[in-house]
């Protein structure tokens, strides 16, 4: 049967080629016909041995393989291709509901997976995404302004991992301190992958009221609740075909975590007020500065959801871990800020660079940008010196906080004000979310802001 399928598929003429590996003749027939209707050539085989032989003699643009084969596991083929033909995307066909197999395949380097019984709609979407992948030496990704700057070992390691995970559809969990560039990493993964021409939808999970979460994520039908005057798409529908980035995913309440898990597993969502589900195709990337493993142990985050989100973990280094990159980062940020303000880019003096490199940067790259923006606005002349940076909070890293010229309470107020401002920045000004980030109640945050004169 495999020889017959192979001969018939080759009769369509030259074109992009797909290797199909499955021991069930009817599945091979179905995949062959579907691929042929998409204008693709399919070589269909029924074992690992035949697949290895075909890979040695033919160049392919995609491989579809079953997980269970007569002479081995599909995972063996995934690993072999990852080692020998890293540019070849491999998608695995798993038994329905076999979550463990799907996650294992993605961790092994699979591009994506599809469950039996095979949905032709999902299959066609998967194939198109795989064939849309840019070549490894292509430069048509939308990096540009969002390039990851730096040449330190920590940055080079992150850059290499981003390049690899961009060529798959596996869920990515980006970790790192606040301000370390987690959303930048997510955008780079999107821009360097097959979905680069579709939507990138960022969502701050900590800024959405709990009673609105389901309708915000999945949409709603007209009349579903008071105020629902029209049908509305949710984040999943808007991101269909593209990437959904869930920032601060640890802030999701447990009830919403259950619904999110189902949407990920089934690749289908139901609008609030709707009777049926609709298929969605999204690449999921999430981020948080919190320790999700610790939250799982505390019962505050579902273990099964963590298992699905943490397929690939990408850790963004703190700025203090790559101090040698600070001069280049600072210059790049200054050029961008000056261009936006219509100014000539000022010169950072040697003393300013030295001061930046010795500063601990608790707010990481976001804090570096804030410092430079303030210095640009207040500078006199065309140079920025160490004094213009106003890095007094650096005393937090070791110098005694109380001095003859300043009271301890003044210093503590300054620390508290900086922490609140950072939380408000992260939450886009949402005070409820900022209070959660700080670990205080909304009423406590409101009182502290009033005491510090921050309510204007």
Question: Is the pLDDT confidence value at 11 over 80?
Answer: no
- Average pLDDT over all residues of the chain: 86
Domain count, the chain: 3
* Residue 88 included in any domain: yes
pLDDT band with cut points at 50, 70 and 90 for residue 201:
very high
What does the DSSP 8-state code read for residue 18?
E
| Burial label, 247 (beta-carbon count in 10 A; 0-12, 13-18, 19+) | buried
Q: Does one domain contain both 188 and 100?
A: no
Query: Looking at per-residue confidence, does 60 or 379 come out higher?
Result: 60
Q: Does one domain contain both 109 and 156?
A: no
Structure tokens at 184: 């930048």
Torsion angle defined by CA atoms of residues 319, 305, 307 and 78, in that order, rounded to the nearest 10 degrees: -100
Q: Does one domain contain both 125 and 149?
A: no
Q: Does one domain contain both 53 and 173?
A: no
pLDDT band with cut points at 50, 70 and 90 for residue 180:
very high
Question: Is the pLDDT confidence value at 400 over 80?
Answer: no
Last residue of a domain, one of 274, 295, 315: 315
Q: Does one domain contain both 150 and 99?
A: no
Tell me which range, 138-147, 241-250, 370-379, 417-426, is most confidently predicted by mean pLDDT: 241-250
Give CA–CA dist 105/112, Å, rounded.
8
Q: Does one domain contain both 163 and 292?
A: yes
**Coil/strand/helix, residue 151:** coil
Angle at 333 between CA 328 and CA 334, to 5 degrees: 100
Q: Does one domain contain both 115 and 48?
A: yes
* Residue 381 included in any domain: no
Last residue of a domain, one of 315, 346, 375: 315
Spatial CA neighbour of 305 closest among 93, 99, 92, 96: 99
* Residue 52 included in any domain: yes
* Residue 96 included in any domain: yes
CATH of the domain at 96: 3.40.50.2300
Question: Is the pLDDT confidence value at 308 over 90?
Answer: yes
* Residue 276 included in any domain: yes
pLDDT band with cut points at 50, 70 and 90 for residue 94:
confident
Question: Is the pLDDT confidence value at 255 over 70?
Answer: yes
Structure tokens at 414: 């300054």
Give CA–CA dist 24/66, Å, rounded.
9
CATH of the domain at 283: 3.40.50.300
* Residue 351 included in any domain: no
Q: What is the pLDDT of residues 13-69, one digit of tens each?
A: 357 999 999 999 999 999 999 999 999 999 999 999 999 999 999 999 999 999 999
Can you name the residues that pair with 93 across neighbouring β-strands?
66, 114
Q: Does one domain contain both 96 and 221?
A: no
* Residue 331 included in any domain: no
CATH of the domain at 420: 1.10.10.60
Spatial CA neighbour of 127 closest among 140, 109, 114: 114
The region of weakest confidence among 234-243, 257-266, 411-420 is: 411-420
Q: Does one domain contain both 105 and 228?
A: no
Beta strands in 53-193 (DSSP E): 62-66, 68-69, 72-73, 90-94, 112-115, 172-175
Distance between alpha carbon 19 and the CA centroid of its chain, in Å?
29
**Coil/strand/helix, residue 401:** coil
Q: What is the pLDDT of residues 121-170, one digit of tens each?
A: 889 999 999 998 887 655 454 544 457 889 999 999 999 999 999 999 99
Last residue of a domain, one of 131, 160, 178: 131
Confidence at residue 197, expressed as pLDDT on a 0 to 100 scale? 93
Domain of residue 455 covers 401-456
pTM for this structure?
Answer: 0.78
Q: Does one domain contain both 279 and 152?
A: yes
Q: Does one domain contain both 121 and 149?
A: no
Q: What is the pLDDT of residues 271-291, one digit of tens each?
A: 999 999 999 999 999 999 889
The region of weakest confidence among 72-76, 79-83, 99-103, 355-359 is: 99-103
Q: Does one domain contain both 220 and 117?
A: no
* Residue 57 included in any domain: yes
Neighbours of 321 (CB within 10 A): 15
Confidence at residue 4, expressed as pLDDT on a 0 to 100 scale? 43
């Amino acid at each position: 049967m495999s020889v017959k399928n192979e001969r018939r598929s080759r009769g369509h003429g030259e074109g992009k080629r797909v290797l199909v590996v499955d021991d069930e003749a009817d599945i091979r027939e179905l995949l062959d016909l579907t691929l042929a209707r998409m204008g693709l050539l399919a070589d269909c085989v029924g074992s690992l041995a035949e697949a290895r032989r075909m890979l040695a003699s033919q160049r392919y643009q995609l491989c579809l393989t079953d997980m269970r084969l007569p002479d081995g596991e599909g995972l063996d083929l995934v690993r072999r291709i990852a080692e020998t033909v890293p540019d070849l995307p491999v998608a695995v066909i798993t038994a329905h509901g076999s979550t463990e197999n799907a996650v294992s395949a993605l961790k092994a380097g699979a591009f994506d997976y599809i469950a039996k019984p095979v949905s032709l709609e999902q299959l066609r979407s998967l194939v198109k995404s795989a064939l849309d992948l840019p070549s490894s030496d292509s430069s048509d990704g939308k990096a540009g302004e969002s390039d990851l700057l730096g040449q330190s070992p920590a940055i080079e390691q992150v850059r290499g991992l981003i390049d690899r995970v961009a060529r798959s559809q596996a869920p990515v969990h980006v970790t790192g301190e606040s301000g370390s560039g987690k959303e930048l990493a997510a955008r780079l993964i999107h821009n360097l992958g097959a979905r680069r021409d579709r939507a990138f939808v960022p969502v701050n999970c900590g800024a959405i009221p709990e009673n609105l979460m389901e309708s915000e994520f999945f949409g709603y039908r007209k009349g579903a609740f008071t105020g629902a005057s029209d049908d509305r798409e949710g984040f999943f529908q808007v991101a269909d075909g593209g990437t959904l980035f869930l920032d601060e995913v640890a802030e999701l309440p447990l009830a919403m975590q259950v619904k999110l898990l189902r949407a990920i597993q089934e690749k289908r969502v139901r609008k609030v007020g709707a009777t049926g589900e609709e298929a969605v195709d999204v690449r999921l990337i999430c981020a948080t500065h919190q320790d999700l493993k610790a939250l799982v142990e505390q019962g505050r985050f579902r273990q099964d959801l963590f298992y699905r989100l943490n397929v690939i973990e990408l850790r963004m280094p703190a700025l203090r871990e790559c101090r040698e990159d600070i001069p280049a980062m600072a210059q790049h940020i200054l050029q961008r800020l000056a261009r936006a303000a219509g100014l000539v880019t000022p010169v950072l003096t040697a003393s300013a660079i030295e001061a930046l490199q010795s500063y601990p940067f608790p707010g990481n790259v976001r804090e570096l940008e804030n410092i430079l923006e303030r210095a640009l606005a207040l500078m006199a002349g065309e140079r920025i010196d160490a004094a213009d940076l106003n890095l007094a909070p650096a005393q937090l890293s070791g110098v005694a906080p109380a001095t003859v010229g300043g009271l301890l309470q003044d210093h503590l107020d300054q620390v508290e004000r900086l922490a609140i401002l950072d939380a408000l920045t992260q939450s886009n000004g949402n005070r409820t979310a900022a209070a959660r980030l700080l670990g205080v109640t909304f009423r406590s945050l409101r009182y502290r802001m009033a005491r510090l004169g921050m309510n204007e």
